[in-house]
Amino acid sequence: MSWTCHGSNNTTMVAALKRAGLDAPQPLGYGATISAPHMHAVCLELLARQLRPGARVLDVGSGSGYLTLVFAHLAARGPGAVVVGVEHISELVASSLAAARGVPWAAAMLVDGSLQLLQGDGHAGYPAAAPFDAIHVGAAAAAVPPALMAQLAPGGRLVVPVGPEGGPQQLVVVDRDERGRLSSRVEMGVM
């Protein structure tokens, strides 16, 4: 992870340890945060059907790479699996790559190309690896990005927080049925 639980004295160390256990977003640095643990759990549950062996997964705003690696672990057991994390902050991409290289199965996926951690504009998706069975967006968007909806495979699902950055948002779920039709619903409010 990009954050650590230490301090220059006992008081700051204890405060850092308390923050680390909070079910709340935590700072990664560079103005970014990692989502609250309950949000990771909610998104994993919403994407459970799509996160099968061999799945093609896009993680937009991949940040620390934590959830991207969870997706990779779930999809890696099948042939054809591709998991792409796209992050716009270069330092977070470098950090997530270093962390992934420290996990033997993830390092092997990086080498064979079935796991990619890239710098780029996630709202554009990643057409080179589309279509995706599952798309997760970790940062709020003003609206559901059309490029991401276009990159959903039949039977695919997109999960994205929609609303103003720092303000009230809604977790929106977009599904593409087997005929290619899109439907969406609000799953819950998020902050």
Could you report the per-residue pLDDT of 83-138, keeping only the tens digit for each? 999 998 898 889 889 989 999 999 999 999 999 999 999 889 999 999 999 999 98
Could you tell me the pLDDT band of residue 2, with boundaries at 50, 70 and 90? very low
Output the CA angle 56-61-64, nearest 5 degrees: 95
Q: What is the amino acid identity at position 115?
A: L
Gap between the Cα atoms of 65 and 94, Å rounded: 10
Gap between the Cα atoms of 183 and 92, Å rounded: 33
Across 4-130, where does the E strand assignment appear? 26-29, 32-34, 56-60, 82-87, 115-119
Gap between the Cα atoms of 17 and 5, Å rounded: 5
The domain limits of the chain are 34-190
Mean pLDDT throughout 43-51?
91
Mean pLDDT throughout 156-168?
90
At which residue do the structure tokens 């220059």 appear? 8
Fold of the CATH domain 34-190: Rossmann fold (3.40.50)
Catalytic residue numbers? 35
